[in-house]
Amino acid sequence: METAVFALFAALALVSALVVVLHRNPVYSVMSLVVTLVSLAVLFVLLGAPFLAALQVLVYAGAILVLFLFVLMLLNVERDEGAAGGRWGQRVGALAGALLFGGLLAVLAWGGQVARALPAPGPGDVGLVALARELFTTYLLPFEIVGLLLLAAVIAATVLARKPGEEGR
Partner 1 sequence: MTAELLGTAAKMGLWLVALLSVVPIMVWVERRGSALIQDRRGPNRVGPLGLFQALADAAKFLFKEDIVPAAADRPLYLLAPVLALVPALTTFVVIPFGPDVEVGGRTVRLIVANADTGVLLLLALASLGVYSLVMAGYSSNNKYSLLGSVRASAQMISYELALTLSVVAVLVPVGSLRLDDVVRAQQGGLLDWHVFPQAIGFLVFVVAAFAETNRLPFDLPEAESELVGGYHTEYSSMKFALFFMGEYMSMTTLSALGATLYLGGWHLPGIPFPDHWLGAALTGFGILMAKVAAFMLFFVWVRWSFPRFRFDQLMRLGWKVLLPLALLNLVLVAALTVGGWL
* Residues at the interface with partner 1 (CB under 8 A): 27-28, 31, 34, 38, 50-51, 53-55, 57-58, 61-63, 66-67, 69-70, 73-74, 127-128
| Residue with Cβ nearer partner 1 (46 or 127) | 127
Closest CB 27 distance from partner 1, rounded Å: 6
CA 158 → CA 64, 113, 120, 167, distances in Å?
17, 47, 43, 12
Element (H, E) at 92: helix 86-114
Closest CB 16 distance from partner 1, rounded Å: 14
| Residue with Cβ nearer partner 1 (108 or 129) | 129
Closest CB 53 distance from partner 1, rounded Å: 8
**How many CB atoms sit inside 10 A of residue 53's CB?**
19
d(CA 135, CA 104): 26
Could you tell me if 9 and 41 are in contact, meaning their C-beta atoms sit under 8 angstroms apart?
no
Closest CB 50 distance from partner 1, rounded Å: 5
Could you tell me if 25 and 73 are in contact, meaning their C-beta atoms sit under 8 angstroms apart?
no
| Residue with Cβ nearer partner 1 (10 or 130) | 130
